[in-house]
């Protein structure tokens, strides 16, 4: 399916162009040069009206009169009422007296320049007739190489490849939505056209703490979210980005952190803390295979399109390679010992070519014993490794080289859609920075760039990077916090608040990949992971209108949960009412948000900066009581509150998570959907949950020669005493 759009401007813009063109000059459509001959249309019209938009068809003498020119439509420097006085301005009547702007002199505007025999733009005079120019045949179109030119009567169209839309000069990625997970639960939906973050949605439904990774199925309809602490993987229907809903969940035998989805969208592979790599059937929302990592310890990993699964064990300095079969089974292929490179693997990424693999090292090349969370000394130049490998066939990897001059630990990698560039989010260190007298800059995060020349051939481009907020390298979590769409990168990963670091503002950074200028968009919570949503069947413009603005900048919180965001109930937008975009409003974010002092407001109220100073108010989910203090709303005790948590669960009012949290009894967990369920390794026995004896029931997977020993919630395999 091809997407196409007419070349040129929107209808609304066209209308303005018509009015101006007619009222003032009525010349033909000039070019864009500022030569006196061409000045006529360009200089009298406002900047935003391109001369291309005006065709002589639209500039018919009697179709538009100056009466139609209102002050709203014409900016003052383009047309003032003094300049246009006649009710009946026609081309013959435009004289030097009527057009007095400095830029247009009488010499330039004469009726001689309008040749009656001229054809409209897009047509050419043949004999006495104006006939369409076939721009596609003549090669005078401006469609890019990846678009197809289609001739139309009087113009032409550029048809972009599937998944792209024509935006007047280029084919742009039509997939604009990005899913954002908040560390403390819930998701947001980021519209990357407007940079408006919708939500948070499903607060408290996706676990209460430690939401790590999010991935989206190739059809763009389902997001899989790892709730690390709560041991669930949740399936969220995002086919309507404005109303995400939970489809189901799977309780995991590990604390899942990273998830990868197979190329066909059938299986998800989950990595995390625990002994297993887990395969999930996405359609059935159930586990289909477990791979026991045994001695490898916990790992994290990535899945290539051909089914190659790469798992890293930083402790062992090795990589394990598995293959995911078509029916969802994992088989061991081999392992690579990296001790000779002294590489402790951190992040793994597979390029769109399906062959190039990047594995970052987490230890400073110059001081390999130092953990990256330790601050560098003044004068240190941190330097980290990046190993480049190539997948030669499913389950087979070849090391192509190791770069040793990467200035940060690479934590997340995103590729452009052509697969030529790798954008890498690298984290510095925040540990003890203040003590060691380091400047923020020296430990900043970096968005770095590499080029993929051909499969397995990678070069690092040290000339291009963007400085980002400093961030602790959480090397063990293997979630992805970087999305690239066309020439913009969106970066999350703001864990600093966990450490009470001064730079704990929570935001998504927007990086222009041409200029590497960074804009920061404040968000209500620490963002762990971002995932691009491939186009689905829902129209891309499902959202009508935008969020309402409340005229205040978001004050970042040191508290991990959702809070404040002032007095907005939708928590979507905190700009002045006349700000079109967050980005614009919050350009001056730090300055604008510097008015509040933590001591300004009392009684539990929070301070929110606004355009005319600041306001004190109770955080969302609370209200001012008779003693002038903020008090939590009684969500659990309110009407319907008893049903919020389902049977057997206890409801507790909370400042976060939609005002309440649900707690279950011993050995059971709240599933976020319908109530309490037995924790993994336990089963229902009447009203309680009891341990499953895997050994007795032969449900264990202990290797031969070992003895199964039952434990509460699981089992272990004991080797015979030597
Ligand atoms: Ca044409
Ligand atoms: Ca057990």
The segment with the largest mean pLDDT, out of 24-38, 171-185, 356-370, is: 171-185
150 Ramachandran zone, left/alpha/beta (phi>0; psi -120 to 50): beta
Indicate which ligand has the atom closest to the C-alpha of 716. Answer: 2
Q: Tell how far the Cα of 716 is from the centroid of ligand 1, in angstroms.
A: 74
Q: Tell how far the Cα of 666 is from the centroid of ligand 2, in angstroms.
A: 15
Q: What is the pLDDT of residue 379?
A: 60
Residue 281 CA neighbour count, 13 Å, CB half: 10
pTM of the predicted model as reported, rounded to 2 decimal places:
0.70
CA distance 332 to 605: 56
Q: Tell how far the Cα of 717 is from the centroid of ligand 2, in angstroms.
A: 12
Q: Tell how far the Cα of 684 is from the centroid of ligand 2, in angstroms.
A: 13
Residue 311 CA neighbour count, 13 Å, CB half: 36
User: To which residue do tokens 């050995």 refer?
Assistant: 667
The average pLDDT across 233-258 equals 91
Whether residue 86 is predicted with pLDDT greater than 60 in this model: the reply is no
Q: Tell how far the Cα of 228 is from the centroid of ligand 1, in angstroms.
A: 57
Q: Tell how far the Cα of 73 is from the centroid of ligand 1, in angstroms.
A: 30
Residue pair 474/371 in contact (Cβ under 8 Å)? The answer is no
Which of 253-267, 445-459, 542-556 has the lowest average pLDDT?
A: 542-556
Three-state SS annotation for 45-77: CCCCCCHHHCCCCCCCCCCCCHHHCCCCCCCCC
Q: What percent of the chain has pLDDT over 70?
A: 63
The average pLDDT across 229-234 equals 89
The average pLDDT across 42-58 equals 36
On the question of a cis peptide bond just before residue 127, with omega within 30 degrees of 0, the verdict is no
Spatial neighbors of 323 by CB under 8 A, at least 6 apart, are 307, 308, 309, 330, 331, 333, 394, 395
The average pLDDT across 335-347 equals 88
Q: Tell how far the Cα of 560 is from the centroid of ligand 2, in angstroms.
A: 34
User: Which tokens go with 422?
Assistant: 């790798």
Q: Which helix H or strand E contains 347, and what residues bound it?
A: strand 345-350
Q: Tell how far the Cα of 619 is from the centroid of ligand 2, in angstroms.
A: 44
DSSP line for 76-109: TTT--TTT---SS--GGG--TTT---TT--TTT-
Q: Tell how far the Cα of 466 is from the centroid of ligand 1, in angstroms.
A: 43
pLDDT digits (tens, 9 = 90+) for 279-291: 999 999 999 998 8
Q: Tell how far the Cα of 45 is from the centroid of ligand 1, in angstroms.
A: 25
226 strand-pairing partners = 233
Q: Tell how far the Cα of 699 is from the centroid of ligand 2, in angstroms.
A: 10
Q: What is the pLDDT of residue 306?
A: 96
Q: What is the pLDDT of residue 699?
A: 84
Indicate which ligand has the atom closest to the C-alpha of 693. Answer: 2
Q: What is the pLDDT of residue 611?
A: 52
Q: How buried is 119 (Cβ within 10 angstroms: 0-12 exposed, 13-18 middle, 19+ buried)?
A: buried
**E strands, 71-210, where?**
123-126, 129-132, 148-152, 155-160, 164-166, 171-173, 177-182, 187-191, 196-201
| Greatest alpha-carbon span in the chain | 108
Residue pair 178/215 in contact (Cβ under 8 Å)? The answer is no
Q: Tell how far the Cα of 149 is from the centroid of ligand 1, in angstroms.
A: 10
Residue pair 607/553 in contact (Cβ under 8 Å)? The answer is no
Indicate which ligand has the atom closest to the C-alpha of 6. Answer: 1
Q: Look up residue 42 and give its DSSP letter.
A: H
Cα–Cα distances (Å) from 113 to 83, 108, 117, in that order, read: 20, 9, 11
Indicate which ligand has the atom closest to the C-alpha of 151. Answer: 1
Q: What is the pLDDT of residue 275?
A: 80
Q: Which helix H or strand E contains 631, and what residues bound it?
A: strand 630-632
Q: Tell how far the Cα of 553 is from the centroid of ligand 1, in angstroms.
A: 49
Q: Tell how far the Cα of 151 is from the centroid of ligand 1, in angstroms.
A: 5
Q: Tell how far the Cα of 715 is from the centroid of ligand 2, in angstroms.
A: 5
Q: Tell how far the Cα of 224 is from the centroid of ligand 2, in angstroms.
A: 28
Residue pair 180/491 in contact (Cβ under 8 Å)? The answer is no
Whether residue 276 is predicted with pLDDT greater than 60 in this model: the reply is yes
The segment with the largest mean pLDDT, out of 143-157, 388-402, 567-581, is: 388-402
Q: Tell how far the Cα of 157 is from the centroid of ligand 1, in angstroms.
A: 9
Whether residue 316 is predicted with pLDDT greater than 60 in this model: the reply is yes
Indicate which ligand has the atom closest to the C-alpha of 150. Answer: 1
The average pLDDT across 226-244 equals 91
Q: What is the pLDDT of residue 25?
A: 28
Q: Tell how far the Cα of 278 is from the centroid of ligand 1, in angstroms.
A: 56
Q: Tell how far the Cα of 304 is from the centroid of ligand 1, in angstroms.
A: 45
Q: Which helix H or strand E contains 135, and what residues bound it?
A: helix 135-138
pLDDT-derived band of residue 59, with 50, 70 and 90 as boundaries? very low
Q: Tell how far the Cα of 620 is from the centroid of ligand 1, in angstroms.
A: 57
Q: SS3 helix, strand, coil % of the chain, rounded to 5? A: 10, 35, 55
Whether residue 23 is predicted with pLDDT greater than 80 in this model: the reply is no
The average pLDDT across 540-562 equals 34
Q: Tell how far the Cα of 27 is from the centroid of ligand 1, in angstroms.
A: 21
Q: Which residue has the higher pLDDT, 449 or 116?
A: 449
Q: Residue 499's CB: how many other CB atoms inside 10 A?
A: 12
Indicate which ligand has the atom closest to the C-alpha of 711. Answer: 2
Whether residue 548 is predicted with pLDDT greater than 50 in this model: the reply is no
Q: Tell how far the Cα of 680 is from the centroid of ligand 2, in angstroms.
A: 9
Q: What is the pLDDT of residue 429?
A: 59
The average pLDDT across 16-30 equals 28
| Domains identified in the chain and CATH numbers | 3-166 (no CATH), 175-545 (2.130.10.10), 546-632 (no CATH), 650-718 (no CATH)
Q: Which residue has the higher pLDDT, 67 or 339?
A: 339
Q: Tell how far the Cα of 716 is from the centroid of ligand 2, in angstroms.
A: 9
> End-to-end alpha-carbon separation of the chain, Å?
66
Q: Which residue has the higher pLDDT, 312 or 497?
A: 312
Q: What is the pLDDT of residue 701?
A: 79
Q: What is the pLDDT of residue 480?
A: 86
- Indicate the pairing of strand 482-485 with strand 488-491: antiparallel
Indicate which ligand has the atom closest to the C-alpha of 155. Answer: 1
* Phi, psi (rounded to 5 degrees) for 482: -145, 130
Q: Tell how far the Cα of 714 is from the centroid of ligand 2, in angstroms.
A: 4
CA distance 527 to 494: 6
Q: Which residue has the higher pLDDT, 48 or 127?
A: 127
- C-alpha R_g of the chain: 31
Q: Tell how far the Cα of 696 is from the centroid of ligand 2, in angstroms.
A: 9
* Phi, psi (rounded to 5 degrees) for 21: -60, -40
Q: How buried is 107 (Cβ within 10 angstroms: 0-12 exposed, 13-18 middle, 19+ buried)?
A: exposed
Indicate which ligand has the atom closest to the C-alpha of 156. Answer: 1
The average pLDDT across 213-224 equals 94
Indicate which ligand has the atom closest to the C-alpha of 140. Answer: 1
Q: How buried is 55 (Cβ within 10 angstroms: 0-12 exposed, 13-18 middle, 19+ buried)?
A: buried
Spatial neighbors of 698 by CB under 8 A, at least 6 apart, are none
Q: What is the pLDDT of residue 110?
A: 43
Whether residue 445 is predicted with pLDDT greater than 90 in this model: the reply is no
Q: Which residue has the higher pLDDT, 534 or 296?
A: 534
Angle CA 60–61–66, to nearest 5: 110
Q: Look up residue 678 and give its DSSP letter.
A: E
Q: Tell how far the Cα of 150 is from the centroid of ligand 1, in angstroms.
A: 8
- The per-residue pLDDT of the chain, averaged, comes to 72
DSSP line for 5-39: EESS--HHHHHHHHHHHHHHT------S--STTTH
pLDDT digits (tens, 9 = 90+) for 414-437: 999 889 999 999 876 544 444 455
CA distance 376 to 433: 8
């Amino acid at each position: 399916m091809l997407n196409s759009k007419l070349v040129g401007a929107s209808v609304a813009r066209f209308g303005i162009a018509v009015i101006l063109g007619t009222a003032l000059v009525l010349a033909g459509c000039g070019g864009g040069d500022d030569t006196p001959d061409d000045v006529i249309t360009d200089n009298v019209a406002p900047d935003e009206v391109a001369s291309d938009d005006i065709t002589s068809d639209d500039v018919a003498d009697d179709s538009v009169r100056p009466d139609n020119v209102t002050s709203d439509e014409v900016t003052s420097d383009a047309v003032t009422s003094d300049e246009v006085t006649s009710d009946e301005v026609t081309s013959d009547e435009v004289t030097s007296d009527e057009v007095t702007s400095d830029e247009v002199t009488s010499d330039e505007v004469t009726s001689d320049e309008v040749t009656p025999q001229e054809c409209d733009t897009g047509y050419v005079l043949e004999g006495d007739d104006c006939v369409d120019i076939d721009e596609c045949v003549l090669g005078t179109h401006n469609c890019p190489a990846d678009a197809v030119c289609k001739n139309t009567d009087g113009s032409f169209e550029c048809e972009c490849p599937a998944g792209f839309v024509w935006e007047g000069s280029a084919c742009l990625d039509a997939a604009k939505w990005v899913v954002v997970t908040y560390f403390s639960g819930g998701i947001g939906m980021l519209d990357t056209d407007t940079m408006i973050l919708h939500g948070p949605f499903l607060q408290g439904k996706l676990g209460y703490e430690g939401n790590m990774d999010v991935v989206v199925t190739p059809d763009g309809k389902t997001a899989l979210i790892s709730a690390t602490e709560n041991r669930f993987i949740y399936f969220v229907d995002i086919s309507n980005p404005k109303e995400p809903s939970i489809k189901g969940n799977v309780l995991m035998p590990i604390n899942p952190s990273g998830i990868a989805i197979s190329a066909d969208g059938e299986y998800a592979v989950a990595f995390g803390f625990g002994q297993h790599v887990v395969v999930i059937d996405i359609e059935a929302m159930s586990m289909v295979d477990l791979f026991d990592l045994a001695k490898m310890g916990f790992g994290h990993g990535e899945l290539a399109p051909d089914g190659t699964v790469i798992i890293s064990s930083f402790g062992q300095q090795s990589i394990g390679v598995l293959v995911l079969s078509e029916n969802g089974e994992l088989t061991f292929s081999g392992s690579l010992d990296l001790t000779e490179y002294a590489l402790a693997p951190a992040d793994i990424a597979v390029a769109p070519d399906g062959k190039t693999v990047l594995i970052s090292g987490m230890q400073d090349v110059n001081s390999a014993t130092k953990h990256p969370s330790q601050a560098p000394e003044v004068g240190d130049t941190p330097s980290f490794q990046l190993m480049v490998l190539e997948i030669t066939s499913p389950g087979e990897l070849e090391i192509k080289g190791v770069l040793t001059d990467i200035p940060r630990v690479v934590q997340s990698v995103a590729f452009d859609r052509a697969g030529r560039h790798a954008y890498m989010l690298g984290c510095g260190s925040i540990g003890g920075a203040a003590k060691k007298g380091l400047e923020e800059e020296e430990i900043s995060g970096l968005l770095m760039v590499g080029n993929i020349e051909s499969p397995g051939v990678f070069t690092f481009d040290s000339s291009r990077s963007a400085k980002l907020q400093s961030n602790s390298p959480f090397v063990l979590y293997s979630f992805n916090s970087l999305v690239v769409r066309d020439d913009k990168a969106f970066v999350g990963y703001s864990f600093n608040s966990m450490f009470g670091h001064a730079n704990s503002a929570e935001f998504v950074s927007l990086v222009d990949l041409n200029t590497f200028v960074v804009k920061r968009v404040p968000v209500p919570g620490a963002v762990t992971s971002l995932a691009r949503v491939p186009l689905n069947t829902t129209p891309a413009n499902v959202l009508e209108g935008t969020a309402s603005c409340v005229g205040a900048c978001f004050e970042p919180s040191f508290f991990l949960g959702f809070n404040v965001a002032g007095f907005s109930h939708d928590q979507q937008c905190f700009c002045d009412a006349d700000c079109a975009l967050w980005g614009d409003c919050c350009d001056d974010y730090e300055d604008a948000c510097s008015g509040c002092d933590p001591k300004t407001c009392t009684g539990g109220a929070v301070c929110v900066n606004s355009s005319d100073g600041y306001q004190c108010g109770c955080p969302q989910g609370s209200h001012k009581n008779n003693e002038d203090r903020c008090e939590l709303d009684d969500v659990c005790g309110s009407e319907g509150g008893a049903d919020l948590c389902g049977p057997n669960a206890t409801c507790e009012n909370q400042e976060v998570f939609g005002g309440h949290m649900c707690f279950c009894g011993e050995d059971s967990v709240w599933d976020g959907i319908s109530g309490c369920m037995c924790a993994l390794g336990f089963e229902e026995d009447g009203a309680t949950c009891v341990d499953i004896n895997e050994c007795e029931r032969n449900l264990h997977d202990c290797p031969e020669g070992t003895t199964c020993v039952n434990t509460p919630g699981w089992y272990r395999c004991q080797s015979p005493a030597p």
